[in-house]
Homo-oligomer: A and B are copies of this chain.
Amino acid sequence: MKEEKSFVKEITPQAEDFSRWYIDTIKKADLMDYTPVRGCIVFKPDGYELWERIQEAMDKRFKETGHRNAYFPMLIPESFFQKEKEHVEGFNPELPWVTEAAGEKLEERLALRPTSETMIGHMYSQWIQSYRDLPVLINQWANVFRWEKRTMPFLRTSEFLWQEGHTAHATEEEARQETMQMLDVYSEVVEGLLAIPVWKGQKTPSERFAGAVDTYSIEAMMKDGKAVQAGTSHYLGENFARGFEIKYLDRDNQFKYVHTTSWGTSTRLIGAMIMVHGDDRGLALPPRIAPTQVVMIPVGPLKLREKVMEAFDPLFDQLKAAGVRVRADLREETPGWKFNEWEMRGVPIRLEIGPRDVENGQVILARRDTGEKITVALADAVSAVGKLLEEIQQNMYQRAVEFREAHSHYDIDSLEALKQHTEEAEKENRVAGWVLAGWCGDDGCEAKVKEETKFTSRNIPFHPPVQKESCICCGQKAAHTVWFGRAY
């Protein structure tokens, strides 16, 4: 039997060093491992399973909204990148290149895709001839590569997994509707499944996707107050259509360029979920995504175990039959050791049964989110678990909303005030959070805010809690109300 051990001692407290807390937690919970390839991680089974559940939820919604999956080549000829000027400038610095294959030097270098607008644009130009061929609504699940300097497991890795939707439409209106629809799908899944509240909004021009006319995002606040861009949806206008000659013959017998969109979410959602819900005891998983929703642990002296199991086993079967993802921990370790381990792994409910509980016809439910212990009648356990899982899901979302609200600032209206705010937060080791501020629309003001405070524009929320009147930087009339914050 192993000694009782508290994982708390092995995980750096969030307040001490949030990044170390994050790394300690994901390593301890066995979600990932580093590899000898720079910036590339292994998604271990407990981490990959989170991705599988995200995929399942997203894929279902994509199909319900009329999309189909396909798969395009990962290798993209260098010349393809030249066809959209902003696109090549945006991605060129991050590309890995295949230059040799099967013992021979290639005539043209092939990039590992950072995103597939170019390859897919090329194919769409072959497939689309007539208005009858539109819209084209395709999604791809794939690995992508961005050779970045600073990496962080899940949030920013050289290779990551994602989905990228690419659609082509006859009109701007329809393409813009698609762009918005997919942003809605993203926020539904991220809020509903991952219990992460997000702000939907538009990116400022300087933060736009390379080659897009308009970029929209959902933005989430982590427990250190930093932002994660949790999904983006782009209206690409005719930019890629012109670059790749994607034209169709319209009803009026005119050749016209299509309007394209693209939209993506990635394995960084795993990282965001961890940073939104985790605490000093480790992971905390929202019930809807948790691979194990309930862990059942028998307690009390071993000599009375047999009696306990007479109640334990049927309850396990009933929970399973009710569709609960339940797991029984019958290992030889002490209950205390097991409690700590499953807390660290983020399982939403721990269900304890001991000899006394059997006598009294009851079980104990311990909530991961609040630490609360509830006694329920054995006969009602299945329905109580079902209700509690839903309650925990809602509570985790609500707490994330409250945390975000507590660290959103609406009264910081000058660069000086923002500098003072961030400096004080740093000195006092407080979360600086986000600032909702006015912005005149000038790139220079945005750049100055970034330079002096490391706060970048997150997005221009569609429904800001308040409208701001003047630019946080120059004090001129605000054209937009913008969320500013530090970002991953």
B72 A35 Cβ-Cβ under 8 A? yes
Q: How far is the CB of A292 from chain B (nearest CB, A)?
A: 13
Point out the residues of chain B lying under 8 angstroms from A126, CB to CB: 33
B103 A96 Cβ-Cβ under 8 A? no
A95 B101 Cβ-Cβ under 8 A? yes
Say yes or no: is A15 at the interface (Cβ < 8 Å to chain B): no
Q: How far is the CB of A115 from chain B (nearest CB, A)?
A: 16
A452 CA / B161 CA spacing, docked (Å): 47
A103 CA / B99 CA spacing, docked (Å): 13
With A36-B122, A77-B37 known to touch, is A161 a contact of B71 (CB < 8 Å)? yes
With A99-B99, A101-B96 known to touch, is A48 a contact of B73 (CB < 8 Å)? no
With A70-B48, A72-B42, A73-B159 known to touch, is A33 a contact of B123 (CB < 8 Å)? yes
A161 CA / B44 CA spacing, docked (Å): 20
Interface size on A, residues (CB 8 A): 52
A98 CA / B38 CA spacing, docked (Å): 13
Query: What string of 1s and 0s marks CB contacts (under 8 Å) between A169-204 and chain B?
Result: 000000000000000000000000000000000000
Q: Which of B45, B96, B143 contacts A69 (CB 8 A)?
A: B45
Query: What string of 1s and 0s marks CB contacts (under 8 Å) between A16-36 and chain B?
Result: 000000000000000001011
A43 CA / B44 CA spacing, docked (Å): 28
Q: Which of B35, B74, B93, B98 contacts A73 (CB 8 A)?
A: B35
B43 A70 Cβ-Cβ under 8 A? yes
Which residues from 60 to 112 on chain A have a C-beta closer than 8 Å to any C-beta of chain B?
A: 68-77, 93-103, 109-110, 112
A68 CA / B242 CA spacing, docked (Å): 44
Which residues from 146 to 186 on chain A have a C-beta closer than 8 Å to any C-beta of chain B?
A: 147-149, 159, 161
Who on chain B is nearest to A122 by CB?
B36
Say yes or no: is A324 at the interface (Cβ < 8 Å to chain B): no
A387 CA / B160 CA spacing, docked (Å): 45
B71 A42 Cβ-Cβ under 8 A? yes
A147 B96 Cβ-Cβ under 8 A? no
A69 B48 Cβ-Cβ under 8 A? yes
B69 A49 Cβ-Cβ under 8 A? yes
Say yes or no: is A276 at the interface (Cβ < 8 Å to chain B): no
Point out the residues of chain B lying under 8 angstroms from A69, CB to CB: 45, 48-49, 52
A98 B96 Cβ-Cβ under 8 A? yes
Say yes or no: is A40 at the interface (Cβ < 8 Å to chain B): yes
Point out the residues of chain B lying under 8 angstroms from A42, CB to CB: 70-73, 123
Who on chain B is nearest to A77 by CB?
B36
A73 B40 Cβ-Cβ under 8 A? yes
A149 CA / B94 CA spacing, docked (Å): 30
Q: How far is the CB of A141 from chain B (nearest CB, A)?
A: 9
Q: Would you list 26 pairs from A and B whose C-beta atoms are within 8 A, ordered by A residue?
A: A35-B73, A35-B119, A37-B75, A37-B110, A43-B70, A43-B71, A45-B69, A48-B71, A49-B68, A49-B69, A52-B69, A75-B96, A75-B159, A93-B102, A93-B103, A94-B102, A96-B100, A96-B102, A97-B98, A97-B100, A97-B101, A100-B109, A101-B147, A102-B147, A102-B148, A102-B149
> Which chain A residues have a beta carbon within 8 Å of chain B's beta carbons?
33, 35-37, 40-45, 47-49, 51-52, 68-77, 93-103, 109-110, 112, 119, 122-123, 126-127, 138, 142-143, 147-149, 159, 161
